[in-house]
Amino acid sequence: MRGKMECMTNVLPLAVDTCCTPLRAAVDAEEAQRIARVFKALGDPTRVLLLSTVATAADGEACVCDLTAPVGLSQPTVSHHLKILVDAGLLTRTQRGRWSYYAPVPGALDRLADALRAVS
C-alpha cells in the first residue's frame, strides 16, 4: 500500500510558458460604467417606450404632460422614468413654466451603437 500512496503524491511540473496572450478589454472601466448605466436605463420597457415616443415627436421634443397617456402611468411615475433617462444621457430636460419638456440627446444612441460595435 505504501508504494501506491507514493505514486499519488507525485506532483507534475507546471509549464513555465503561458499558453495565451494577455487580453485587453475594448473599453476601459469608466466607459464600461457609462455604458452599463445607459443599458440599465433601457432595461425597463416603460423607459424604452418613453425614449421612443420622445425621439419620434413631431417637434423633436415632448412635454411630460403628453407622455402619461402612451405609457398609462401617472405623471410623477413618468417623471421618475424620464429622470433616469436624463441621468443616463439619453434625454435632455427643459423647464417651461410648470411643465418639463424632453428631447433626445443628439448622437446618444449613435454613441451607444458605436460602443456595442467596439466590443463585438
Please give the full DSSP string across 34-83, using - where no structure is assigned.
HHHHHHHHTTSHHHHHHHHHHHT-TTS-EEGGGTHHHHT--HHHHHHHHH
The predicted structure's pLDDT at residue 24: 76
The reported pTM is 0.76
Q: Check residue 76 and give its pLDDT.
A: 95
DSSP 8-class letter at 25: -
Q: What domains appear along the chain, each with residue ranges and CATH number?
A: 28-119 (1.10.10.10)
> How far is residue 7's CA from residue 20's CA, in Å, rounded to a whole number?
31
Average pLDDT per run of 10 along the chain, which is 120 residues long?
56 65 79 89 96 94 95 96 97 96 94 82
What local confidence, expressed as pLDDT, does residue 104 receive? 96
